[in-house]
Structure 1
């Protein structure tokens, strides 16, 4: 037995004795697995049927007779018929469950209704836009003191235009009024209106009896001047745009919703917005549009939200955080997210059965929110799953072979010529710790002692065998992991989140 293996065996014995379970483990392997217990004089015949022998470190390799493992310095362990097949999982006495820190959770049927929080920017409401144009050709006599960015009320003057064409038409209309012929007068008045003359100017001509060829162009709505393309002395043509005014009675928020949550957003959905400019104050609005295109760079969906802005406090360009009360609306099977184990290729949970049996079950998961995850396939409501201590159960299954060796369960070694050659894969070392940082292809973990290598607690950076192993993890998460050494690098092969802190 080499030094690391001796340390591992010594640690197992110390833990078992400290928890008062040393006799239990020895009895479990020496008596429960062998009803005819070994005595000082020798061993009686085991009446239980043995299916095959195996090495707990390489459980997929089966042997037809007992002996020493060709992979590790330990005896092969029998697999009995009444223990079930490989799918039977692992059995732990209920009295030891608490010592291992195992916590169970019930699979529930319910709905997830957790708010969606997303960043947003305040924008102009593009539906409140007024374009100021010249209705007839003329000359700019005066431009009032306006500039782009100015906020003006409705009716505020912008420029005075001289329209020579209107002077002759007004004189003709006044002449028709003097004749007393209503039909001709009405026709002349209609001509004034068709030339683009505003109704207010026509009434002014009627009241004063003199022509007015200069018209004041004013803002049709209150808001901010976005464009101002008029200068004193310039010539304007009919239909030329002089100014563009954007109303401020309401504003838009454009929020970036993650693509994974886009299906939970709908038009008309109420929400709250909070702005850094007004801490502690919430602005209520609703979703007016879900834009049809996703941002390819950030994988977010643009959602347009409308907020009233009667006091003008919301100004375009401000930053906001929006919160939408969104849910699936359909009943689903949900489990605590901490019960989910992602191996990189599969997603599994440990299903708890009667009598302390634990069995891994592959599941298909859906939406995750508020610490709960929807399970689309693999579980039913009412079942019990392990929410904390999954990797301790996995370690317990691996330690069975060590405890069996301590009971003196020996047998004649198998013929080396018939034993398969040892696998060429590197040894896997188990540890637990806390994630410090995650980068591309690497993860930094503050881990506890690694018994198989004789290491103490330290913080070090590991390479990831697959980048998806770190999916769903963030700095501060407690994890259990297995790693191997390859070409001088330490590579994480197994990685999963645990429920407890380090």
Structure 2
């Protein structure tokens, strides 16, 4: 190969790349200008803008009469033109490009929600179905049956045998008097056995057999699981000492953690459906038996209790469940798709569409939300159309142009969003009040890409972010410099 052809190839490649980049820039500028434009008088469009002054976006308080290089940063000064805020009445989009921008409209309708809540639950023992076995008199444990905590036992299952000296003496006195024929003395001796704490069944056995039975076989009064067993062979027990605690399993509790923001309207006897991972494909139905009065301070949830029958014993305490709580229909209200609402944290907005292709940001008050619909209690009327898809693009455009937002009273307009300039970048570091960002160019500021530190308008904007994340930021421009007002993660594109 002839070596002299390499310079020619290099020059040709450079010219081709420059031409492609210039063509992409020119096409992009034409698309942007045709897709979105704030309505302006016809004569204003043909009038060339005159710069009022030049400034450095990082030090906007310093103004310069002539263009040039900034004395503060390694960048050119940016011109400031008169009337840059644009038309504050709304954003106008040519109908020919509406479909290309992915804008989809939805109509606000009058209807009722059938709200349902998805929550997590856990099965627990029914604390109302509990039996406690105590020693009725002082005695000695002579035998312990093979039982242990968490054993499941039927009602009447033996637990231990205890020798009670006091009972032996009372039984012998009764048997000695029974053959005397003294009715009063026999009745008194029988009453003594009862007062000593002897079970009725044991007294009946002594009367029937005519023999003393000083040993007491301790049995479980109910069937269930042994939660506590404090009895060992050879130990001495005193009157009132707890020997065992048995919890029934014929029914269990389902405790459901409901976020307090969704607990409005819950009431006893409402229907629920539960699905357990251990019982795949089976739906367990029940009704709310109680809404506990105390909220969890850490999770900010309310506990809702459901009592479920468990005759087969397949519901085991400790199992988790996915629960659906059904609520009664709400009163009629204005409904819009949930995706149509722009939630900023301080207020909720929708982009209201008019017949002439204009879109106006309107503040609304939200009510309950269920599925993919949300109630609008103030700010919209039935029949009005809102943007359900593509509204964030319009909201971004409105922010950049300083478009006014219709207030809730409808009688006045107030600019409640600053003009935001957008760029993408990668987080280098961050703390509670600022973020260091390696960003691309802010085109609306004519500011090249660089790495610099920005203050944030609120610490909440940085929640969930960390160094290395790719983000898109929106900054406002004020006397103190650039401040991040909006930040959201973006997917980092792979380089070819």
Structure 1 and Structure 2 fold alike (TM over 0.5): yes
Q: For residues 257 and 356 of structure 2, what CA distance do their matches in structure 1 show? A: 50
Match of 2:30 in 1: 14
Q: For residues 210 and 280 of structure 1, what CA distance do their matches in structure 2 show? A: 59
Q: For residues 143 and 324 of structure 1, what CA distance do their matches in structure 2 show? A: 47
Match of 2:3 in 1: none
- Residues 331-389 of structure 1 show CA distances to partners (whole Å, capped at 9, x for unaligned) of 33222222222345432212223322322221122333322222232122222112222
Shift of 1:222: 0.9
Match of 1:500 in 2: none
Match of 1:465 among 447, 453, 457: 457
Q: For residues 354 and 470 of structure 1, what CA distance do their matches in structure 2 show? A: 39
Cα 1:78–1:229 change in 2 (3 A) is closer
User: Does structure 2 conserve the Cα–Cα contact (< 8 Å) formed by 1:344 and 1:469?
Assistant: no
Cα 1:295–1:340 change in 2 (3 A) is same
Cα 1:388–1:455 change in 2 (3 A) is farther
Q: For residues 123 and 399 of structure 1, what CA distance do their matches in structure 2 show? A: 55
User: Does structure 2 conserve the Cα–Cα contact (< 8 Å) formed by 1:250 and 1:307?
Assistant: yes
Q: For residues 450 and 94 of structure 1, what CA distance do their matches in structure 2 show? A: 28
Match of 2:138 in 1: 137
Match of 1:45 in 2: none
User: Does structure 1 conserve the Cα–Cα contact (< 8 Å) formed by 2:122 and 2:320?
Assistant: yes
Aligned ranges 1:28-39 → 2 under 5 Å: 33=42
| Unmatched runs of 5 consecutive residues or more in structure 1 | 1-5, 43-53, 56-69, 80-84, 402-425, 474-478, 498-502
Matched, 1:280 2:281: yes
Q: For residues 296 and 178 of structure 2, what CA distance do their matches in structure 1 show? A: 65
User: Does structure 2 conserve the Cα–Cα contact (< 8 Å) formed by 1:481 and 1:496?
Assistant: yes
Q: For residues 462 and 339 of structure 1, what CA distance do their matches in structure 2 show? A: 31
Cα 1:462–1:296 change in 2 (3 A) is farther
User: Does structure 2 conserve the Cα–Cα contact (< 8 Å) formed by 1:343 and 1:494?
Assistant: no
Q: For residues 325 and 284 of structure 2, what CA distance do their matches in structure 1 show? A: 12
TM-score by length of 2: 0.69
Match of 2:468 in 1: none
Question: Secondary structure in 2 aligned to 1:363?
Answer: strand
Question: Secondary structure in 2 aligned to 1:277?
Answer: helix
Cα 1:448–1:260 change in 2 (3 A) is farther
Q: For residues 110 and 431 of structure 2, what CA distance do their matches in structure 1 show? A: 37
Match of 1:374 in 2: 375
Shift of 1:454: 8.8
Aligned ranges 1:165-314 → 2 under 5 Å: 165-314=166-315
Question: Secondary structure in 2 aligned to 1:232?
Answer: coil
Match of 2:387 in 1: 386
Question: Secondary structure in 2 aligned to 1:354?
Answer: coil
Is 125-134 or 187-196 further displaced after alignment? 187-196
Question: Secondary structure in 1 aligned to 2:227?
Answer: strand
Q: For residues 399 and 226 of structure 2, what CA distance do their matches in structure 1 show? A: 74
Shift of 1:77: 8.1
Match of 1:329 in 2: 330
Give RMSD over aligned pairs: 4.9
Shift of 1:482: 2.8
User: Does structure 2 conserve the Cα–Cα contact (< 8 Å) formed by 1:7 and 1:451?
Assistant: no
Match of 1:116 in 2: 117
Question: Secondary structure in 2 aligned to 1:158?
Answer: strand
Match of 1:429 among 406, 414, 421: 421
Shift of 1:449: 9.6
Is 130-139 or 380-389 further displaced after alignment? 380-389
Is 224-233 or 337-346 further displaced after alignment? 337-346
Q: For residues 480 and 332 of structure 1, what CA distance do their matches in structure 2 show? A: 36
Cα 1:307–1:470 change in 2 (3 A) is farther
